[in-house]
Amino acid sequence: MNKYKLEDLKVGAVFKSNCTTRTILMVGKRSVFYSFIDSGIYGENSTDIINFFDGYYGDLVRPNVKTKKIAQLEAEIKKEGA
């Protein structure tokens, strides 16, 4: 049984475990590409998608409503400027 579903693995989703924060950059059929900050060091990597499904790379940080509203507002501003 997987801890997370495919719908949870969206671009920009954040997973945290101990001192490491991972942000999803791209999701493929079998791999997830992500950026991470580990002890203040930035990097990018990829892994098998099952590692995120099982929660091996940490817990999904659920965005709050304010964050979602800010993203929607930014999208509207970009549309108006285009």
Closest residue by Cα to residue 22 from 32, 30, 31? 32
Identify the pLDDT of residue 45. Answer: 94
Is residue 21 a contact partner of residue 37, using CB atoms and an 8 Å limit? yes
Kindly provide the residue ranges of all beta strands, DSSP E only, lying in 28-73, ordered along the sequence.
31-38, 41-48, 59-61
Comparison of pLDDT for 33 and 81, the residue scoring more: 33
For residue 28, tell me if it sits in a domain.
yes
Residue 33, in any domain of the structure: yes
Q: Which residues pair with 16 in a beta bridge?
A: 21, 59
> Does a structural domain hold residue 55?
yes
Specify whether the CB–CB gap between 67 and 21 falls below 8 A.
no
Residue 23 lies in a domain: yes
Confidence check: pLDDT of 68 > 80? no
pLDDT tens readout for residues 14-56: 999 888 889 999 999 999 999 998 888 899 999 999 999 999 9
Q: Could you tell me if residue 14 is inside a domain?
A: yes
In whole angstroms, what is the distance from residue 34 CA to residue 66 CA?
24
- Reply yes or no on whether the pLDDT at 69 is more than 70: no
pLDDT value for 66: 55
- Structural domain includes residue 1: no
Structural domain range at position 70: 6-81
Q: How many domains would you assign to the chain? A: 1
The whole-model pTM stands at 0.69
